[in-house]
Amino acid sequence: MKKENKLDILLHGVGGVAIVFTCVVLFNIVSAQVKFRADFTEGKVFTLSEGTRNILKDLDKDRGDDSESAKLKIRFFRTKGNNDVPIMLSSFAQRVEDLLDQYKESAGSNLELEKINPSPDTDEEDLAVKDGISSIQGIFYLGMSISYLDSVETLPSLDPRRERNLEYDISRRITKVLKPKKTVVGVMSSLNVWGGPDMSNPMAMMNRGQQQPAWVFVQQLRQDYDVQQIQPAATEIDKTVDVLLVIHPKSLSEQTEYALDQFVLRGGRLIAFVDPLATRDDSGNQNPQMRIPGLGGGSTLERLFKAWNLTFDNSKVIADLKYQPKNAQGRDGQPMVMPAYLLLDKSAVSKENLITSQINTLHLPYVGHFKRNSGVNDGLESETLLKSSNQSKLVDGMSSQFNGQDIIDKFGTPAGTEHIIAMRLDGKFKTAFPDGKPAAAEGDDKVVNENDDSKKDHLSESSEKNAVLLIGDTDLLVNEISVRVQRTIFGNQVQMINGNLAFVQNAVENMGGDSNLITVRSREDQNRPFEKINEMQEEATKKFNAELKRAQEKLESIVAEKSKMEQNNNQGDNQVLTIKINQEDLKQIRKQEADAQRQIRQVRKDLRKDIDRLQLRLQLANVGVIPLLIIISGTVFFFIKRRKTAAV
């Protein structure tokens, strides 16, 4: 065998590198001409959703396969060739363009996609300005205009922070240009969802300070619907209202409930948010700057619920061991125990109903529960949308805000009942007012017309099947609980921190007749809790509960004995009969109390340590397993290769 010299080895090495380099270049040239995408993410978050594809299919039906009819047009403005553009924005712009290519591929000839590079001082830049596209920091354009017939919608500037919302933003505007007539949504609320003076700010109350904007859910509804304010004391609902949101209805008059009753019977869609404890209800606070939730009382639709064979306890809230926040901390950094502040995951929501099928997380503080009376044939079918776990029980609403640890300590064995938090009723509804429109209350300025015509207008039963949505919470609408508002160079940007507002808008769209956007919007919520960690935490909690209960009972016994001794010892100050107490015994009992409290603190400390240890183990496993497997595989491969080489 001829022995290779150093020159041959060098030439062979250089030649091999050149061949590999050439193959790589050729592969990139060929592959660039072939478009192939693979989305391995859970939920296919980088692939067009079924809702978007359905919207584009509807476009094909509207055009009726007529090649001469108007097409949906998208003008995509993206500045290219400018070195001052941040790499982050350039990469995001490319992903936007890739997404629009998917729209074009799915819509085919029904969509005309025009890509424009608005370079400075060009006709393309003039077109961008004409279409309402905003420049970013004066150097970069990234936006689009969407038009169909005479309807035009614009996304002036695209923010990378809303990348998860991008498909929804585009599809929503496509829907708006395809169907310019807006659904009318009425909102009747006893809470200040419309904004205005901040009742906790005395300057704003005197119209000297900044006014609060409408809640985010109202702002979002206004983007898609014709939103009308309905007064809480309204005795008639306008017939133009398609969907009505009733939020925290407190102490409604018979006339108002009758108006809601007749609204449902004539085919209007009702979405009611009732609550045993609304954290934004300030009506019971004498000082609005000192907000104490729940003083205003709970809300319900008593007469309607009775007619629908429902009960809603507006004084009790649900405490849930499974869905309580894990490792929650207060503003002072101290741990907080809040079993009535529910963090629902996908196991608590219905996967069969379109409204909730794509929702993964919901934050619901201090919720109530519905109970449907069984054995009653009223022609209505109920469907549970949200529910608690079987590790839940009902507790007092007011005390649940302050006595979380006490609730846990005295929780006992759960009854295994799953409480209904939100539900849907379907069928032909019957009136809750069989005798007709109730008379006006004494002193009411409005005179009720009791002539024959008004009686003829009364509906006793709906002619067609209808649907009603009932939610046992109002706090899911509150900004601080549902969204995070951040200031950016693009203006104030709203980020969803859970599925709360997606759930609300899904409900409105579903009840309003358009459900294509539901599967698109729900993609905004991509929070995935560490389910394994939560299960391990529950096991650790169960392990310490028995020991904690014994220590708590011992402390209660000691405190009771100490209180009795101190009470007897103090009787000598004002009474003739004096009971002498051995001060050493009292000192000893106080020492026992301190030891018992120390033991309880130690048990809770051990519990937190155990949970932290479990989390650390699982996180180390997630981070370290794959690198460890690679190291082991590489080592094994090295020794096998070395053994084969040595044998040769």
Cα-flanking dihedrals φ and ψ of residue 366, to 5°?
Answer: 55, 65
Strands (E), 92-183: 111-116, 135-136, 140-148, 151-155
pLDDT of residue 571: 54
Q: Tokens for 620?
A: 């180390």
Is 362 within 8 Å of 499 (Cβ atoms)?
Answer: yes
Is the predicted pLDDT of residue 207 greater than 60, yes or no? no
CATH superfamily of 50-166: Glutaredoxin (3.40.30.10)
Q: What are the DSSP calls for 285-320, one per residue?
A: -SSTTS--TTTT-----HHHHHHTTEEE-TTEEEEE
Q: Domains of the chain: which residue ranges?
A: 1-34, 50-166, 184-438+454-529, 533-647
- pLDDT at residue 452, as a whole number: 47
Statement: residue 433 has pLDDT above 90:
yes
The helix or strand, by DSSP H or E, that contains position 343, with its residue range, turns out to be: strand 341-344
Report the mean per-residue pLDDT for the chain. 80
pTM above 0.95, yes or no: no
pLDDT at 31: 63
Angle (CA) 255-259-263 rounded to 5° is 170
pLDDT in tens, 297-328: 899 999 999 999 999 999 999 999 999 998 77
Q: List residues bridging with 141 in a β-sheet.
A: 135
Q: Could you give the CA distance from residue 317 to residue 364 in angstroms, rounded to a whole number? A: 11
Residue whose structure tokens are 């090649």? 67
Could you give phi then psi for residue 290, rounded to 5 degrees? -110, 85
Q: How confident is the model at residue 398 (pLDDT cuts 50, 70, 90)?
A: confident
Question: What tens digit of pLDDT does each residue of 19-31 get?
Answer: 767 777 777 777 6
Average pLDDT over residues 342-369: 92
Residue 72 forms beta bridges with which residues? Answer: 111
Question: Can you tell me the distance from the alpha carbon of 296 to that of 285, in angstroms, rounded to the nearest whole number?
Answer: 7
449: pLDDT strictly greater than 50: no
Residue 450 — very low, low, confident or very high, per pLDDT cuts 50/70/90? very low
Out of 61-65, 120-124, 381-385, give the one with best mean pLDDT. 381-385
Give the 3-state secondary structure of residue 575: coil
For residues 333-353, give the mean pLDDT.
Answer: 88
Q: Dump pLDDT digits (tens) for 555-605.
A: 677 777 767 666 665 555 544 444 455 667 667 777 777 777 777 777 767
Q: Which two tokens stand for residue 522?
A: 């729900």
